[in-house]
Amino acid sequence: MPRKPHRVPGTGRRSEAAAKLGVDLRVPPEVDPIVIRHSEIADFRHCPLKHRLAWVEGWWSPARESGGARDLGQVWHRVMQVRYRCLRDAAAQGAPPDEDDIEDLVAGVIEGANEDLRETLWWMYEGYVELYGRDSDLEILSIEETLRVPFHDEDDRPLVIEVDGVRRPILYSWTTDLFARSRTYRGLVVVDHKSTSQPLSKMDIDLSDQFGLYTVAWRRLGENIRGQLVNQAKTKRLKRPMTLEERFSRTPSIRTPAELRAIELDAVDTIYAMLSPRNRRRSYSNPDPRSCGWKCDFKEPHLRLRRNTDPRKERAILKSFGLEQGATHGQ
């Protein structure tokens, strides 16, 4: 039977487990923690103005959220979630998985997607099953598990930052696509599903602090993580036939303890800047012509905002580009 994953006790709860996990018991339990995901850190690093508009004020683009690459990525994650739950349940029962039943469940996900994406999704899924089959290398322990742990400061104490006169604990929230035991790597691994037209290289993966933070967080929970496996599926066909090895890849990334600590402290420094009084007064912009076009909802609105001298018109300008407020970004 798969064991239950660790749970983080609530902030301020006096227990041995809370102390072991580094929850700062000195923070009054009525103080709400600030919960931060890696995507928020990444957006702030990309452009503090983008962070303010998206994460603080909740602006988003309905047009960009439907029918594009982000939608395909979300559906692919749901497909993987369905498949691996079925594989885990079959393994727990000691029986081979029923591929027809799994395909019926997957069909319910894919056929509910944007019509323009369905052919691509079926091409991806059928190739994935042909290559990996039952995926016997992985013993699945949890799927799409969302957890929280405290960030730790330079003194390795739970991070607490004063915001508007109140000291608040800072928690890292993350979702693990798959938490598994790998027979190949002889240990626990975090598996991250990616659908992409241009797969990440080994160097890209090793540079990504997102994958490193996953390991930091699981180790804070007492799990001896071996490393990460980035499970990539290509979304674009070539004109010639493609081999399965061209279409799919699993790239390992194993970090040293010193590297993991450096990754966490880089994130902590970013959080200090994000929550600083200066940034809260006025967020500066940091446009990058190479990435703003595909990575940001606010490219055209930003150009208009830079020409505007009346702050009272900001809301009207953003709405004129079809942006709406109310995004939660999974918080």
Task: Give yes or no for residue 69 having a pLDDT over 50.
Answer: yes
- pTM reported for the whole predicted model: 0.82
The Cα 98–Cα 73 span in angstroms is: 25
The better pLDDT of the pair 198, 68 is held by 198
97-113 pLDDT per residue, tens: 999 999 999 999 999 98
- The separation between CA 12 and the C-alpha centre of its own chain, rounded to angstroms, equals 26
Residues 6+ apart with CB under 8 A from 160: 24, 27, 167, 168, 169, 170
- pLDDT class for 28, splitting at 50, 70, 90? low
Whose CA is closest to 75, among 114, 101, 37? 114
The tally of CA atoms less than 13 A away on the side-chain side of residue 203 is: 0
Average pLDDT over residues 170-197: 93
The Cα 39–Cα 152 span in angstroms is: 18
The Cα 86–Cα 65 span in angstroms is: 29
Across the chain, mean pLDDT equals: 85
271-281 pLDDT per residue, tens: 999 999 888 77
124-168 pLDDT per residue, tens: 999 999 999 999 999 999 999 899 999 999 999 999 999 988 899
Q: Which two tokens stand for residue 326?
A: 């109310």
Cα–Cα separations (whole angstroms), residue 308 to 312, 313, 314? 10, 8, 8
306-326 pLDDT per residue, tens: 888 887 888 898 998 888 888
pLDDT above 90 coverage of the chain, percent: 54
| Structure confidence at residue 16 (pLDDT) | 43
Q: Which helix (H) or strand (E) holds 174?
A: strand 166-182
CA angle 133, 135, 138 (to 5 degrees): 175
The better pLDDT of the pair 127, 288 is held by 127
The strand pairing partners of 180, in sequence order, are 140, 189
Q: Are the CB atoms for 109 and 79 separated by under 8 Å? A: yes
Task: Give yes or no for residue 17 having a pLDDT over 50.
Answer: no
The per-residue b/e assignment along 16-25, b for 16 or more CB within 10 angstroms, e otherwise, is: eebeebbbbe
Task: Give yes or no for residue 7 having a pLDDT over 70.
Answer: no
Domains of the chain: 30-277 (3.90.320)
Task: Give yes or no for residue 31 having a pLDDT over 80.
Answer: no
Beta strands in 131-165 (DSSP E): 138-150, 160-163
Q: Which helix (H) or strand (E) holds 225?
A: strand 225-234
Q: Are the CB atoms for 121 and 108 separated by under 8 Å? A: no
Task: Give yes or no for residue 287 having a pLDDT over 60.
Answer: yes
- pLDDT class for 23, splitting at 50, 70, 90? very low
The tally of CA atoms less than 13 A away on the side-chain side of residue 198 is: 1
Average pLDDT over residues 209-215: 91
